[in-house]
Chains A and B, each alone.
Chain A
Amino acid sequence: MALGGFFSRLKEGLSRSTEKLTSGLAAVVTRRKLDDAALEELEELLIGADLGTAVAARVIAAFRRTRFGRDVSDQEVKEALAEEIAVILAPVARPLVLDPARRPHVVLVAGVNGTGKTTTIGKLALAWREQGLRPVLVAGDTFRAAAVEQLQIWGERTGAPVIAGPPNTDAAGLAFDALTRARAEAADVLLIDTAGRLHNKSALMQELQKIIRVLRKQDGDAPHSVLLVLDATTGQNAIEQVRVFKEMVDVSGLIVTKLDGSARGGIVVALAETFGLSIHAVGVGERATDLRPFDAGDFARGLVGAS
């Protein structure tokens, strides 16, 4: 995938998210000087993008120091906003790097219900297949109806083998067997799908810990990556979500999905500030190719509509 193509795709995906924010910004800034009222409206625009009240307040405080009372153009405000946001996001924009020494590199994919775990696994499998790697998928969501079949279809689409058990199989046992097989076959990546679970259900979170415990009986370092898949439409509860998953299963990175919708995913900024957790990629559609690396500058510019 050419980089140029990537940027234009990301912008395309994010442009819809920004339309509203952008038109709002123009209305605020071209209308008058950057006075108290204008700043308050700017703050509200950021809040409306799910940045959260605290982050929005900090961004606006910086504006107040440097630009208060000045006539500022629409473009200037956008750029300054994007800069401010990019500074927060830059440290967490880290791609998911597979360790070629691992055969396989074990990736556990977790998240609350309906965030797009299975779809993301399908996309990751395709990306790795295209790099000439051999991923193996594990249908670890043994709970939800037809979750196994859903992953199997992704396996067919991407040419990645899928390891599954009968319904209601113990996910940890399945993962253990899958790792045995993947090691025997020297697969490059083992991608383990898991059932969606709300972070406040302790029994379900313990189940996830059990998967890790069992994997470690074979490989003390497994899983080598624990991905949390986060829906961009999620509001402030995402912070609690990330906090608990991080605490319970030591999440190593985030993938933010559904960024092709009208949700702006501004919560990502708050997450970056609070946890400094890597953001590996963003999902911008339902096709297998709709997974993009996360780029702080692009995301920030896309978010505020600066081109």
Chain B
Amino acid sequence: MFDTLSGKLTTVFDRLRGRGALDAADVAEALREVRLAMLDADVALPVVKDFIAAVRERAATAEVMDSVTPGQQVIKIVNDALVEQLGGAGAVPLNLNAPAPIPILMVGLQGSGKTTTSGKLALRLARRDRRRVLLASLDTQRPAAQLQLAQLATQAGVPSLPIVAGETPVQIARRALDAGRREGFDIVVLDTAGRLSIDQTLMDEVRQVREATSPAETLLVVDAMTGQDAVNTARAFNEAVGVTGIVLTRMDGDARGGAALSMRAITGAPVKLTGSGEKLEALEDFHPERVAGRILGLGDVVSLVEKAAETIDEEEAEELAAKMMKGRFTLEDYAKQLKQINKMGSLSGILGMLPGIGKLKDQLDGANLDKTLLNRQAAIIGSMTRKERTAPDIIKASRKKRIAAGSGTSVQDVNKLLRQFDDMAVMMKRMNKLGQKGLMRHGLGALMPGRRQSWH
């Protein structure tokens, strides 16, 4: 499961880091690993080849070879090239420089998330950019697709074009623009049916829609989990309708998102937005440097922090921190913490966002790190009385037996939890003693308790 680009690259570069000088063979070997790893991250083959060729050229310069830290240099080159290929630093905004009503055409394969994205886009344009947006569904293929968009429009508080049965997509598009003109809308978002890139009839149809509406933006909506077929899809849609921007959906999944690189390379169009959740607000600008980091295993700290902010109750967190500093952290607080970690998703997903964790992942995987452990701990704490949670010292043999029975665990499990909690308490006391300055001087090592840290 951790057989990802991030893990592999970290391994390769660790090896490179350990070396003194690099020769051409070292670079070639590293790049072969990079190539394999990128393929495993679903970057399409032709795109990988171009990428590797570009990086090889830059990595083979004397500047890199003679450098004291050639590994670092190669990492930097790979990272820079990736960011560059993803579109350079910073997000590319939607082009709204057109006379109103500005048509935005949404296209893509079935199930890529066009309709949901249309709803999200309308909400964002209406709420953030204060535009008057009209939603119109041209999807006459999938059952209830038009109704779906109408319902999303209601949720977003944005009007949608009334549904008229029997109209063709081109007719609906014309009616939408008419309504847009007549009723003074700034933007008309045209959602279309999902279509396969090889379906000539439907591709012709969307071409006609495009000709009839001249959209300011033609956004190709792509699932971040897409594999090698990304190139075919990108090419077909680009040839048929001229893609001006890409929306990458399901970025809240754990796919590495190699499709972003493929799509960008084939269409030349920037990835403009990413969808990252089921809520209508979950539409964000695309940041190439962040996604490059995610792909390269440099970690995605920004996303981690965002995710934490999204799921963790700030007040509760601050209260916990204060208690920790005072050394008054109880088992009850620990249970709360467990609950918050649980809310953030899979542990491996969270760890994957941490820089440098890639190489540790295999070990962690071997340790069978999953939430059952955390759930078990929560159950144990749940089976304690309030008094026991605030003063765990009173928990002796008979209480342990009762707690174990109540939580469906064993006395050993209860012991482990208590021991771990003890260790935590010791660590927190040291943290307080050291203070901020001490921490800087002695590093994190000063915190480690002298005893073994037991996770299971």
Contact = CB atoms under 8 A, between A and B. Distances in A.
A152 B144 CA distance: 9
B206 to A, nearest CB: 15
Contacts of A145: 115, 119, 147-149, 151-152, 155
Contacts of A153: 143-144
B330 interface: no
Contacts of A200: 252-254, 345-346, 349
Interface in B179-206: 196-198
A262 B198 contact: yes
Nearest to B46: A48
Contact of B371 (A201, A202, A239): A202
Contacts of B150: 146
Contacts of A203: 343
Contact of A235 (B113, B197, B259): B259
Contacts of A20: 232
Nearest to A260: B196
B40 interface: yes
A243 interface: yes
Interface residues of B, number: 55
B228 interface: yes
B255 interface: yes
B240 interface: no
A146 B110 contact: no
| A interface, size bucket | 35 or more
Contacts, number: 151
A234 B196 contact: no
Contacts of B349: 200
A130 interface: no
A53 B225 contact: no
Contacts of B225: 112, 231, 234-235, 237-238, 241
Interface string B245-256: 000001011111
Contact of B45 (A16, A48, A114, A237): A48
Interface in B133-174: 141-145, 147-152, 155
B357 to A, nearest CB: 16
B346 A47 contact: no
Interface in A31-67: 44, 47-50, 52-53
A149 B253 CA distance: 27
Contacts of B346: 200, 202, 244
A234 B226 contact: yes
* Chain A CB within 10 A, most for which of B110, B155, B197, B343: B110
B197 A243 contact: no
B147 A149 contact: yes
Interface in A97-115: 112-115
Contacts of A16: 198
Nearest to B257: A237
